[in-house]
Amino acid sequence: NRLRDHGVEIGVLQPGQFNALTDVPGVQVGHTTIIQGDDIRTGVTSILPHSGNIFQEKVPAAIYVGNGFGKLAGYTQVKELGNLETPIVLTNTLSVPTAMNAVIGYTLHQPENENVRSVNAVIGETNDGYLSDIRGRHVTEEHVLKAIKNAKSGPVTEGNVGAGTGTICFGFKGGIGTSSRVLPKKSGGYTVGVLVQTNFGGVLQVAGVEVGKKLGHYSNSFKYSPDGSCMMVVLTDAPLDSRNLERLAKRAMLGLSRTGGIASNGSGDYVIAVSTAKACRIPYQSDDPIQLHPTLRNGAMTPLFLATIEATEEAILNSLFAGETMIGRDGHKIEALPKGKVLEMLKEAGKTTP
Amino acid sequence: NRLRDHGVEIGVLQPGQFNALTDVPGVQVGHTTIIQGDDIRTGVTSILPHSGNIFQEKVPAAIYVGNGFGKLAGYTQVKELGNLETPIVLTNTLSVPTAMNAVIGYTLHQPENENVRSVNAVIGETNDGYLSDIRGRHVTEEHVLKAIKNAKSGPVTEGNVGAGTGTICFGFKGGIGTSSRVLPKKSGGYTVGVLVQTNFGGVLQVAGVEVGKKLGHYSNSFKYSPDGSCMMVVLTDAPLDSRNLERLAKRAMLGLSRTGGIASNGSGDYVIAVSTAKACRIPYQSDDPIQLHPTLRNGAMTPLFLATIEATEEAILNSLFAGETMIGRDGHKIEALPKGKVLEMLKEAGKTTP
Amino acid sequence: NRLRDHGVEIGVLQPGQFNALTDVPGVQVGHTTIIQGDDIRTGVTSILPHSGNIFQEKVPAAIYVGNGFGKLAGYTQVKELGNLETPIVLTNTLSVPTAMNAVIGYTLHQPENENVRSVNAVIGETNDGYLSDIRGRHVTEEHVLKAIKNAKSGPVTEGNVGAGTGTICFGFKGGIGTSSRVLPKKSGGYTVGVLVQTNFGGVLQVAGVEVGKKLGHYSNSFKYSPDGSCMMVVLTDAPLDSRNLERLAKRAMLGLSRTGGIASNGSGDYVIAVSTAKACRIPYQSDDPIQLHPTLRNGAMTPLFLATIEATEEAILNSLFAGETMIGRDGHKIEALPKGKVLEMLKEAGKTTP
Amino acid sequence: NRLRDHGVEIGVLQPGQFNALTDVPGVQVGHTTIIQGDDIRTGVTSILPHSGNIFQEKVPAAIYVGNGFGKLAGYTQVKELGNLETPIVLTNTLSVPTAMNAVIGYTLHQPENENVRSVNAVIGETNDGYLSDIRGRHVTEEHVLKAIKNAKSGPVTEGNVGAGTGTICFGFKGGIGTSSRVLPKKSGGYTVGVLVQTNFGGVLQVAGVEVGKKLGHYSNSFKYSPDGSCMMVVLTDAPLDSRNLERLAKRAMLGLSRTGGIASNGSGDYVIAVSTAKACRIPYQSDDPIQLHPTLRNGAMTPLFLATIEATEEAILNSLFAGETMIGRDGHKIEALPKGKVLEMLKEAGKTTP
């Protein structure tokens, strides 16, 4: 059961069919969950903005760095050129190079890419080293390729899965979460989908209810280890150029804030934003030096900003509601969010519909 | 009565004596409120990080641009050099040049500044053009100088005052608001003070309670005019360099988000952050090319981030609780926040202490 | 006589008809030169990207900060929204607010702008305080409006004129300079025009010849006062979005470098880049939330980069060749570049065509 | 024979003992050159800012992106935290992940790092795919570790070596180049060292002489493939914080410009700047939340800017003078710079001392 199934509504806009990143047409998500022995709790999640050859048909993109204590790969080229040319892959901090190698290999070996000699792999990460033997670097290129191959449309599995297998959020078990919003027709009718890999801290709020404070479940010293982080992927079918995608990406941090996130010093908080609009695709090669893309005017961005904030907030909460208690490395144990108690608090605060 | 007087606590940290920007030692705030005839509702607010000659004793500073649809003056030099050399002045959008001229004149004519030929005035603004005849540009240099001269320590007047005289927030009367947090000794015992000039929109939340949604008081279309904006000034006595001040400034946007702010397209949202620590002052001239400033390590920043978020959220709410119904230009009327109703909602949600 | 008239060619591309910013179709430049008494040597230069109402028909734009020790106004909004909505005005450091006031007034009072309440004036500056009584702030709004009204197409006056009246470059008399390049048809046939206001230092090179070193005319200590600066305005009729305009703007700094400029600590070096392509205009208001602009692909940018570098280098050199010896404030005297000697050096190095 | 051995002096400042990056005390450089069969021409170069455990004793650092069409790893964390925690490694574009894996492994296995679970490897790259089978990804982790182990002080081998084995510059054989400058005592006496991996284009100038134009050796269309790039590493013993290191890094692009570089669309031009000053080291862990580092005042930066520009220009030229004709993948052949002809031109232009 997801948060919304309990009658809790985040924000004022409506979600799409699956309340997931995959509500954006053509988008696919895949997971490889790696649970081995007592000490390995990690994985890979892939996001495909479209099902074609992404290198040959690039998509407008931007990455916003909320707090840059992280190892995300691919930032500077996306910033310079305004586009994305590979699937997005999420994994653990120390497996970023392996994921890059896999994505590079995947791209080099796609049909039509025989002469490609430069690939900008975009890989996000959070640090699951408390529950998993991260120093062992157990993710293989095969794991990554499997996550890409597995990618599919429709409902997205949340919680202890893929790149969220071993992550921790507000001291509870975090993981993968997702949500979406569909704008009203008069605002363009576009869909905004968000997927998050949650591994950060702060003072948890659920739908504005101060859960962390009430449970006394937060660090008094706020001297977090540098293990936190949150990866946020925002896709939309609205036709946007990279400048407005960067503005959109910035708003995901506002959604994170509403869950009580504080972007602590040790947190690597990144937002990757992509427009999947077909009319905005950027062919790798073209005889015409001029491209003619429709793009939304600045003045039409506000509803998309709101949608991003709401979907990010709900995606993070969904990751907490889906996370299950896990025991990992050296017997470390992280409890799931006490959903019963939280729902009780929500009910008392009038946040659940009867 | 401020929000906290009703038993509503924002966050987990404690405010300082005045719950105001002026809790940071040495800081002074001044207002000039300009209400003339039926159509002029504007003003000026000044913030002095210390009571000395700021040009001769510059302070480490950073400015973060949350959303750059605004006319704040002085950004690029602060970014390049990492310091502030004038009082900070807030006013209305079209009076920025006048405020600059006043601040330049003020600086040129201070003792010791006889040979100064370059001054970087930092002026923030929001657009009060709905309630005030902004096109008339009624702020004079004298108004600005008066706000600087008026500046004093102690409690800060909030609401329809100074640069907040004619501003609108979430469709209600906004204005000036302020708040502070004092870190526990073990986190350094530093004070963080925030002052805001609120003139923006979104879907109002008060202490997590969805006031805007419950009152049906928000724009369905989110096609805001480009008049929104929020200026946030964050001062602290923690010894920080400009890099960590910029990180601190970024967190104020997370505080804004918790009030329901969405950084709409038309909003100019800027955060000015300054360290007032005496040991960090930067003399204009020095025989020694080397300076030796204490600065906090990255790892010690997190409690300051939390303090900034909490104080910004509360400062914005304070501006709404202090704002009073105003009639201005062409008979335009903006109602104050219906505090009775809101407090009732807060009570129902268990947010007020009995 | 300009540099090129002596048979010195900068780079490999060809200039346009006037070898000036005004070779870009529709562009107009205006000057107000203010020489009064013994101590006032300053002025204003205006650049109009098109002759219509720029607020109603905005142009794609970007500003690159080479070194931000300067007071340029309008940066953050151009960065956020990607467009320019006023004429560009250049003047002296302490007259930026006056120029802003003039440009705001100009815009508010244009037909169709009766309801405009927010104007982002873009004003550049350098510090002419050695030759002029800059503290006296002698530029008036009338001076600025006159420069806008004076603006015209065709040849552009260089040297001690407009905003370049009192500026100093490499220790010689600088001022306004301009140049242009026209791309070959196969590269699109676009024109790139550059106008500079030169007031900076380093070790002068003319067409690669080390003039500063040979003349022994440079500071051994490089402890410049904070008075330097260079404003560079790059206009092109190539259809570019703001991201690629920012990339273009960055290249102007490479042109500055080739003259021996070093972007010293005290230099405020800014580049304003604008696309004047008619198909890229951005109407202030539109019923259609979607715009459809042609833009050049990333892969087509390189020739424009080269054109910008070459035209910037030549524009700076042109400012030096046009600058004339000037005596100003307190009898301060700045000599013109010793053109005879320099041409002799160029000849010896084989740089002049016989 | 290096350029300076022919009596050609670049700039006005003097180089250090080796005219190399290693003139900065404590700095070490190592190469692994990989030439195998007909098709493999690649390698690895490592730079160690000090000989201790860099993760435990981090160094202040900044990275400036001249043109971000590249895959440099580690950017965002350096930007956020202002420091470097690993050796810098340069290699080819598609071997970045392998180099990251090697550097991560190297760091994890250093004594004292037993509990480290997060490592920000900084890896630069250029694309040697014309001369080398880059798609084959022939660099191994062992190659990288060997380059780190090989690192030593003293003279640095230039040309077809390490990461420069297969690179191309201005259409001639490029590679590794290095140079240094020592400031006069009155400017602090600091050393600035630069090392470059040259793989970019433009219109070659040598000491201001238009070699590319005279030889007719440049692309008329400037439609370069996306294979170009230049990595620039700037180290100094001047005590600098990350803000002023970023300013220093920016100046390396000005040095690149003076060789005729244009930062073409396809070029990934990055500058990594580091202060090696012992008093500025940042311990990984510390009981004291406050650090006390000496740093240079803004006003003392200009001589370091000049030194960086000069050393970068000369390092690039040194790479060309050291590069030797190479035949590689599919029989592709790249000629060395015709040094005889170039020296003849330099002599004619009066650039060589008799």
Say whether D33 sits in a helix, a strand or coil. Answer: strand
The band of A221, judged by pLDDT with boundaries at 50, 70 and 90, is: low
Give CA–CA dist A258/A262, Å, rounded: 9
How far C101 CA lies from chain D's nearest CA (Å)? 32
Six-digit token string for C50: 């098109």
- State how far residue C187 is from chain D, nearest Cα, in angstroms: 7
The first and second tokens of residue A319, run together, are: 């990751």
Q: Within 13 A of A115's CA, how many CA atoms are on the CB side?
A: 6
Q: How far is CA A310 from CA A84, A208, A353, in A?
A: 24, 12, 18
Closest to D15 measured CA to CA, from D26, D5, D28, D30: D5
Nearest C-alpha neighbor of B288 from the set D291, D239, D290: D239
Residue A224 is predicted with a pLDDT of: 45
CA distance A231 to D340: 55
- Distance in angstroms between the alpha carbons of the first and the last residue of chain C: 16
Q: If you write DSSP's letter for every residue of C29-69 in order, what string do you get?
A: EEEEEEEETTTEEEEEEEEESSSS-TTTEEEEEEEEEEEE-
Contacts of D73 in chain A (CB under 8 A): 71, 73
* Domain boundary assignment for chain D: 3-285+299-347
Which of D159, D164, D189, D161 has its CA nearest to residue D23? Answer: D189
Q: How many Cβ atoms sit within 10 Å of the Cβ of residue D31?
A: 22
Question: Per the residue annotation, which of B133, B179, B269, B319 is the catalytic one?
Answer: B269
Q: Are C195 and C309 in contact (CB under 8 A)?
A: no
Both tokens assigned to B101:
């001229």
* pLDDT beyond 80 at A223: no
Q: Sorting pLDDT into bands at 50, 70 and 90, what band is D222?
A: low
Nearest CA-CA partner of D32 in D200, D179, D176, D177: D176
HSE toward the beta carbon, residue A319, CA cutoff 13 A: 37
Half-sphere exposure of residue A180, counting CA atoms within 13 Å on the CB side?
25
pLDDT at position A85: 98
Q: Does B299 touch chain D (CB under 8 A)?
A: yes
Q: Which residue has the higher pLDDT, C335 or D220?
A: C335
Q: Which residues contact A246 (CB under 8 A, 6 or more apart)?
A: A62, A63, A64, A273
Q: Which two tokens stand for residue C184?
A: 């070959």
Residues 245-284 of B with CB under 8 A from D: 247, 282
pLDDT tens for each residue of B10-65:
999 999 999 999 999 999 999 999 999 999 999 999 999 999 999 999 999 999 99
Name the residue with higher pLDDT: C219 or C29: C29
Interchain contact, A68 vs D74, CB within 8 Å: no
Kindly report the average pLDDT of chain B as a whole number. Answer: 96
* Interchain proximity C118–B127, CB inside 8 Å: yes
Residues of D in contact with A286 (CB under 8 A): none
ipTM beyond cut 0.95: yes
Does D1 score more than 90 pLDDT?
no
Residue D101 has its nearest CB partner, among A69, A97, A119, at A97
Q: How far apart are CA D91 and CA D162, in angstroms?
A: 8
pLDDT at D218: 82
Does the structure show a pLDDT above 50 at D173? yes
Of C11, C263, C305, the CB nearest to D264: C305
Active-site choice (D153, D229, D242, D319): D229
Arch. (CATH architecture) of C15-281+297-339: 4-Layer Sandwich (3.60)
Q: Do D118 and A79 touch (CB under 8 A)?
A: no
Q: What is the pLDDT of residues C272-308, one digit of tens each?
A: 999 999 999 999 999 999 999 999 999 999 999 999 9
**D242-258 and B242-258 helices, crossing angle to 10°:** 110
Q: What is the CATH number of domain B12-284+299-345?
A: 3.60.70.12
Q: Quick check: B146 pLDDT over 50?
A: yes
pLDDT in tens, A225-277: 545 899 999 999 999 999 999 999 999 999 999 999 999 999 999 999 999 99
Exposed / middle / buried, residue C5 (Cβ in 10 Å: 0-12, 13-18, 19+)? exposed
Give the residue, B219 or A338, on which the prediction is more confident: A338
What tokens does A53 get? 């050859």
Q: What average pLDDT does the segment A57-84 reach? A: 98
More confident residue, D223 or A72: A72
Mean pLDDT of B278-293: 96
Measure B258 CA to nearest chain A CA, in Å: 5
SS3 A153: coil
Q: How far is A6 from chain D (nearest CA, A)?
A: 38
Query: Nearest Cβ partner of C203 from D12, D67, D348?
Result: D12
Nearest CA in chain D to A97: D97
User: Are the C-beta atoms of residues B142 and B157 closer than 8 Å to each other?
Assistant: no
In a 10 Å sphere around its CB, with 0-12 CB exposed, 13-18 middle and 19+ buried, how is residue D91 labelled?
Answer: buried
Written as six digits, the tokens of A323 are 């996370």
- Single out the residue of A200, C129, A265 nearest to residue B306, CA to CA: A265
D297 touching B, CB under 8 A?
A: yes
Q: Hey, how many other C-beta atoms are within 10 angstroms of the C-beta on D149?
A: 12
| Amino acid D336: pLDDT | 98
Residue A74's identity, in one-letter code, is G
Contact between A129 and D117 using a beta-carbon 8 Å cutoff: yes
Residue of chain B nearest D250, judged by CA positions:
B80
Q: Which of residues 306-335 of A touch B (CB under 8 A)?
A: 306, 309
Q: Measured between CB atoms, does A221 come within 8 Å of chain B?
A: yes
A84 → chain D, closest CA residue: D69
Which amino acid does the sequence have at D168? I
User: How far apart, in whole angstroms, are the C-alpha atoms of residue C239 and residue C60?
Assistant: 9
Distances (CA, A) of D194 to D21, D169, D201, D273: 5, 17, 19, 9
* D308 SS3 class: helix
Say whether residue A14 is in contact with chain B using an 8 A CB cutoff.
no
Q: Is A340 helix (H, G, I), strand (E, B) or coil?
A: helix
Whats the size of chain D, residue-wise? 354
Token pair for residue C247?
């990339």
Residue C95 above 80 pLDDT? yes
Q: Residue C306 to residues A47, A307, D250, D258: CA-CA distances in angstroms?
A: 38, 42, 19, 13
Residue in this structure with the two tokens 């009155």, named with its chain if needed: D186
CB count within 10 Å of CB B152 equals 13
Parallel/antiparallel/unpaired status of strands C172-173 and C176-182: unpaired
Kindly report the length of chain B.
354
- Which are the contacts of B201, defined by CB distance < 8 A and separation ≥ 6? B169, B170, B171, B218, B219, B224, B228, B261, B262, B264, B267
B52-95 pLDDT, tens per residue?
999 999 999 999 999 999 999 999 999 999 999 999 999 999 99
- Please say if A229 is a catalytic residue: yes
| Whether pLDDT at D72 is above 60 | yes
Rg for chain B, CA atoms, rounded = 19
What CATH architecture does domain D3-285+299-347 belong to? 4-Layer Sandwich (3.60)
- Which residue does chain D place closest to B247, by CA atoms? D80
Say what the pLDDT of residue C218 is.
Answer: 82
The topology under which CATH files domain A8-283+296-348 is L-amino peptidase D-ALA esterase/amidase (3.60.70)
Closest CA to A238 of A283, A183, A291, A284: A183
The percent of residues above 70 in pLDDT, for chain A, comes to 97
- Residue D9, amino acid: E
Rounded-to-integer distance, Cα D324 and Cα B79, Å: 44
| Residue C213 CB neighbour total at 10 angstroms | 16
Q: Examine the residue annotation and report whether A264 is marked as an active-site residue of this protein.
A: no
Report pLDDT digits (tens) over C208-254.
999 999 998 887 665 545 458 999 999 999 999 999 999 999 999 99
The H or E element that residue D333 is part of is strand D333-334
Report the b/e string of A126-152 with b at 16+ CB within 10 A. bbbbbbbbbbebbbbbebbbbbbebbe
* pLDDT, mean of residues D168-192: 96
Q: Which residues contact C215 (CB under 8 A, 6 or more apart)?
A: C204, C338, C341
Disruptive mutation site among A271, A302, A352 for chain B (greatest number of B CBs within 10 Å): A302
The three-state secondary structure class of D260 is coil
Chain D residues with CB under 8 Å of A267 CB are none
pLDDT number for residue B252: 98
SS3 of chain B: CCHHHHCECCCCCECCCCCCHHHCCCCEEEEEEEEECCCEEEEEEEEECCCCCCCCEEEEEEEEEEEECCCCECHHHHHHHCEECCCEEEEEHHHHHHHHHHHHHHHHCCCCCCCCCCCCCEEEEECCCCCCCHHHCCCCHHHHHHHHHHCECCCCCCECCHHHCCCEECCEECCEEEEEEECCHHHCCCEEEEEEEEECCECCCECCECHHHHHCCCCCCCCCCCCCEEEEEEEECCCCCHHHHHHHHHHHHHHHHHCCECCCCCCEEEEEEEECCHHHCEECCCCCCEEEEEEECHHHCHHHHHHHHHHHHHHHHHHHHHCCCEECHHHCEECCCCHHHHHHHHHHCCCECC
Whether chain D has a CB inside 8 Å of the CB on A1: the answer is no
Q: Are strands C28-36 and C40-48 parallel, antiparallel or unpaired?
A: antiparallel
Residue D226 has pLDDT above 70, yes or no: no
pLDDT at residue B228 in the model: 80
Length of chain C: 354
Looking at residues D276-286, what average pLDDT do you find? 97
What pLDDT is stored for residue A226 in this prediction?
41
Q: C: neighbours with 3+ CB pairs under 8 Å? A: A, B, D
Six-digit token pair at C334?
A: 């700045």
The C-alpha atoms of residue B261 and residue B64 are separated, in whole angstroms, by 17
CB spacing of D76 vs A70 below 8 angstroms: yes
* Residues facing B235 on adjacent strands: B193, B274
Of C67, C257, C266, the CB nearest to D257: C257
Q: What is the overall mean pLDDT for chain A?
A: 96
A-facing residues of B in 109-148 (CB < 8 A) are none
